[in-house]
Amino acid sequence: MEEQKKRILLVEDDPNFGTVLKDYLMMNDYEVTHAKNGMEGFEKFKKDDFDLCILDVMMPYKDGFTLAKEIREKNTDVPIIFLTAKTMKEDVLRGYKVGADDYLNKPFDSEVLLMKIKAIIQRKATETISDSKQFEFKIGKFDLNSKLRFLRFDAGEPVKLSPKENELLRLLALHENDLMPRELALTKIWRDDNYFTSRSMDVYIAKLRKYLKLDEKVEILNIHGEGFRLVINN
């Protein structure tokens, strides 16, 4: 079976360590892009699609967490592994908040890192069955382009959607006629689950309903305690 090499973005400011790690990963059949600081890391991230990011936490100018936040704004899915110099609890917790998939304490065992990489990439691969690269949806008489973030009714003037509106509608569309669990949206879009983010989400549901009113065949139904359902009647 012909298998596409997985692409890793490695952001590590220590040139010695970075180079060694890069070479090690490449020897294990990954395609590695090495950035020497947060700034550069973000630039490279924007330019390419990666299957995984490995970020050093301690870096001058822009630390790993800040970089992760920026990356998350662009891409809610890409797995992130943090490298922390020592096991500081605050770091670990902060990492999870930003949506880390894992973290490793330096010095770490390279085989363990490989295992983690494998496990994480595999996990994503199974998750990403259908929602891989879907950015255009037909929703009744609407067209949603979630890459450009606009919603067009009946081939008319497109309305611009805010990032959150867009993500939420996209999630709903991905589950058209099916349940889109509340939890899913909260974890994928808001990455946090408390009373207020939950209310925030409800506010966005209201906004979307307003947009979608133009087509009376399209509606967002609530399933009490579970989530929402985008239905298209005919």
Partner DNA sequence: CTTCTCTTTTAACCTTACATTAACAAAAAC
Partner DNA sequence: GTTTTTGTTAATGTAAGGTTAAAAGAGAAG
Residue 43 CB neighbour total at 10 angstroms: 10
Q: Binder to DNA among 112, 209, 216, 217 (CB under 7 A)?
A: 209
How buried is residue 157: exposed, middle or buried, by Cβ count under 10 Å (0-12/13-18/19+)? Answer: exposed
According to the binding rule CB under 7 A, does residue 2 interact with DNA? yes
> Is the preceding peptide bond at 107 cis, omega within 30 degrees of 0?
yes
Task: Quote the least distance from Cβ 106 to DNA, whole Å.
Answer: 30
CB-nearer residue toward DNA: 81 or 189: 189
Which partner from the list its own copies, DNA, none does 205 bind, CB cut-off 5 to 8 Å by kind?
Answer: DNA
For helices 64-74 and 38-47, what crossing angle results, to 10°? Answer: 20
Q: Binder to DNA among 182, 185, 212, 230 (CB under 7 A)?
A: 182
Which partner from the list its own copies, DNA, none does 86 bind, CB cut-off 5 to 8 Å by kind?
Answer: none
Type of residue numbered 167: E
According to the binding rule CB under 7 A, does residue 210 interact with DNA? yes
Alpha-helix runs per DSSP H in 128-193 = 163-174, 182-185
Tokens 């949206």 identify what position? Answer: 185
CB-nearer residue toward DNA: 3 or 109: 3
Tokens of 102: 């894992």
The site for its own copies (CB under 8 A) is made up of 1-2, 89, 92-93, 96, 100, 102, 109, 111-112, 115-116, 118-119, 122-123, 125-128, 130, 147-149, 160, 162-163, 175, 178-179, 181, 183-184, 187-188, 193, 195, 198, 223-226, 229
